[in-house]
Amino acid sequence: MKIISDPQEIQALCRGLRFSGVTTALVPTMGFLHDGHKSLLLAAKNRAEKVILSIFVNPTQFGPGEDLEAYPRDFNRDVKIAEEVGVDIVFAPKPEAMYGPDHATWVEAPELAKELCGASRPTHFRGVCTVVLKLFNLCMPTFALFGEKDWQQLAIIKAMTRDLNLPVQVEGCPIVREPDGLALSSRNSYLTQSERQQAPHIFKGLKLVQKLARNGEHDPRQLKKAVEEYWQEHLPLGEIDYLEFVNPVKIERVDAVQGETLVAVAMRLGKARLIDNLLIRS
């Protein structure tokens, strides 16, 4: 397994692979790998001849006062996991190698970033789009895989890839959960014992929405009320950042939860801000 930190070096290597017809799959991450990342890496191995894992805590997608400094990091452990899974290339650049002092160009998809995380983190997706485009240009992958836990991120990256004619096939992979339903996230490491005990109710709340919608309740306000009450009782340590019902492609609020609707939540639980979602068909 090669470990590369220099953007020029990875680009030269990946250009060689691309032009010699070797298929590659990129899994972009911010490190502190868990089983969700592992499932992306295994899917990548099934797609392509070579797997590239990028590890980069991208500063431009964190807003002021967010957890950039505190974001969990363990590079040696990540490398071990990458080796176990059979990754071919790890790309782990330093922030100053990715963003020069004169960096002046940003990529955005504002229409898709109005709701959900884009509403509470106004510069987040600009940072994500910009770094993902840079990673695509450096790694030139045939495929790129992202988790569906960050559904809005995946929708935005798919739109960017389509709109800018990027020669990459972007694919989403299902959310990986703990046995009690909590979606895996590097930020779960922030949770205290009592917060961790309550955290599975985030997903249980989403399942409640699904059940009510399937039983004929299609009004987002009624569904919201029901799940808020459920969380008040079972998740008193949580503070809802948002709970929204959106079209899964356009990421626009819906008036009725009918057909395919994404129910998405961001919840503050102590130091952690956790997101989760469920695609409902009713």
Active site residues: 37
Stretch that binds ligand PAF, among 62-70, 125-133, 176-184, 227-235 (CB under 6 A): 125-133
**Residue list 62-121, contact with ligand PAF (CB under 6 A):** none
Residues 9, 29, 140, CA angle at the centre, nearest 5°? 40
Among 39, 58, 188, 277, binds ligand PAF (CB under 6 A): 58
Question: Which H helix or E strand runs over 266?
Answer: strand 260-269
Is residue 194 helix, strand or coil?
helix
The pattern of x and - marking residues 233 through 272 that bind ligand PAF according to CB under 6 A reads ----------------------------------------
Strand 169-173 with 89-91, pairing: unpaired
CA dist 215 and 111 (Å) reads 32
Contact present, 140 and 23 (Cβ < 8 Å): no
Q: Does 61 bind ligand PAF (CB under 6 A)?
A: yes
Q: Does 276 bind ligand PAF (CB under 6 A)?
A: no
The pattern of x and - marking residues 143 through 162 that bind ligand PAF according to CB under 6 A reads -------x--x---------
**Residue list 165-224, contact with ligand PAF (CB under 6 A):** none
Smallest gap from residue 16 Cβ to ligand PAF (A): 24
Q: Does 28 bind ligand PAF (CB under 6 A)?
A: yes
Helix, strand and coil percent figures for the chain, each rounded to 5: 45, 20, 35
Smallest CA-to-CA distance from 119 within 24, 253, 269 is with: 253
Closer residue to ligand PAF (CB): 133 or 212 = 133
Q: Does 30 bind ligand PAF (CB under 6 A)?
A: yes
Q: Does 29 bind ligand PAF (CB under 6 A)?
A: yes
Smallest CA-to-CA distance from 90 within 48, 45, 29 is with: 29
Smallest gap from residue 131 Cβ to ligand PAF (A): 5
Sign of CA dihedral 200, 203, 205, 207: negative
Footprint of ligand PAF (CB under 6 A): 28-30, 58, 61, 128, 131-132, 150, 153
